Amino acid sequence: MTHVSGLAAEFASRIDGLSSISHMVGRYQQMNRILCDLLRHLTAGAPYVLRGPQAQIEYVADSLPPSQEISLRRLRFHCHRPERCADGLEGFFPADVAALRALCSLLGGGAVALAPASPAACRPSGAARPAPSGAKWHCLRATVVSAAKLSAVSLEADDDGGEMVADLSGFGYLAAWLTRGTVLSLVYFADQLTYVVYEPDFLVDVTSVAACFTPYADDARLAIVNRLTPNTPNVNSLLGNMASLFLDDALSAVRGHHVPSTDYRAAARRFFRRNALELAAVAPELDAAWHGAAAEQQRHVADMMTTLLRSDANFNPAAAATELSLFGRAGPHGAR
């Protein structure tokens, strides 16, 4: 307890020192360092790897009241590359400092339990054995600084802005695409670089291609028109988005050797909190049948993931790396 109190006091002192920095962008750069350090301490006891602030925020946010979760996400948005919104930062600074102090107060651990005391106690009988020590997936998002040689690509990590050098000589097909500013996700297993996910500035997905073919025209320019047209939410698309949330929750549970939850009310609250405007637009259609279909989806996902948990399957990196934003894309990657 003395260690926790000392840690909280250390963070409080660092937060107090923010006002001594004259330049607002400089304040937010220091605030970002404090935020990253705080998140690492708060998620140190997680039963699975959480690499990077975004994954750590998702983990912490599930235990926060809605107002505090919104403040935390706004704080992260302002701290990440503050030069992009420098003109408006001064007005947000007091509220962002308050959000940082509220996060610091969690170090005492009194009100929020961020990790189960014994993950093994939640494991169903016949569950797969935990992976050997260190044999975990984790993901690091980084921006290319220099790529003169694939064997020594200079990168800037997104989580703390620190520079690193990566050997990408095993991924020769990337040679023609790596330029300064390219964003990569480096996926590791057991501390070995296993996958590199290339993220272009503009991605045309299958939905955009399909939208180019309509009863009245077949034209590639329709993709641009559709991007300018506001998306109209409907109950079916929201049901699909909710299924993705269930799958993401179940994957996180499986990675920590937990039984996937079937608490529909808790999951629905979280979904409604994150999609308030879309749900408000279709509120009259959210009847008992819709909720029944959503709850049934959650049960199916939980049953499927529990079956896979009892098998000896090893999930692909999308199941382990929240930063990839590949929600809903999961499948066995091969036997251990």
Convert the pLDDT of each residue in 288-303 to its tens digit: 999 999 999 998 888 8
Separation of CA 10 from chain center: 27
- Report the length, in residues, of the chain: 336
Q: What is the pLDDT of residue 295?
A: 92
**Does residue 194 carry a pLDDT above 50?**
yes
Rounded Cα–Cα distance for residues 262 and 301 (Å): 9
How distant, in Å, are the alpha carbons of 247, 278, 289 from that of 285? Answer: 24, 12, 9
Q: What pLDDT digit, counting tens, does each position of 232-249 carry? A: 788 888 888 888 888 888
Q: Which residue has the higher pLDDT, 73 or 131?
A: 73
For residue 312, what are its two tokens? 């000896």
Residue 11 sits at the vertex; the CA angle it makes with 161 and 100, to the nearest 5 degrees, is: 75
**Does residue 195 carry a pLDDT above 60?**
yes
Q: What pLDDT digit, counting tens, does each position of 134-168 carry? A: 446 677 888 888 888 888 888 888 766 678 888 88
**Does residue 322 carry a pLDDT above 50?**
no
Asked if 174 and 168 count as a contact pair (C-beta separation under 8 A), the reply is yes
How distant, in Å, are the alpha carbons of 60, 156, 324 from that of 141? Answer: 20, 9, 8
Q: Which of 13-17, 27-31, 67-71, 101-105 has the lowest mean pLDDT?
A: 67-71
Q: What is the pLDDT of residue 159?
A: 63
Single-letter code of the amino acid located at 274: R
Asked if 36 and 159 count as a contact pair (C-beta separation under 8 A), the reply is yes
Q: Which of 37-41, 119-123, 229-233, 326-330 has the highest mean pLDDT?
A: 37-41
Q: What is the pLDDT of residue 245?
A: 86
Q: What is the pLDDT of residue 241?
A: 87
Pairing of strands 183-189, 153-157: unpaired
Q: Which residue stretches of the chain are H helix?
A: 2-16, 24-42, 53-61, 66-79, 89-104, 206-210, 222-228, 235-255, 264-274, 276-281, 288-310, 317-320
Q: What is the pLDDT of residue 53?
A: 79
Q: Which of 27-41, 203-217, 283-297 has the lowest mean pLDDT?
A: 203-217
pTM beyond 0.75, yes or no: no
Q: What pLDDT digit, counting tens, does each position of 63-113 carry? A: 788 778 888 888 888 887 777 666 677 888 888 899 899 888 887 653 333
Helix (H) or strand (E) holding 194: strand 192-199
Q: Which residue has the higher pLDDT, 250 or 5?
A: 250
Q: What Rg, from alpha-carbon coordinates, does the chain have?
A: 22
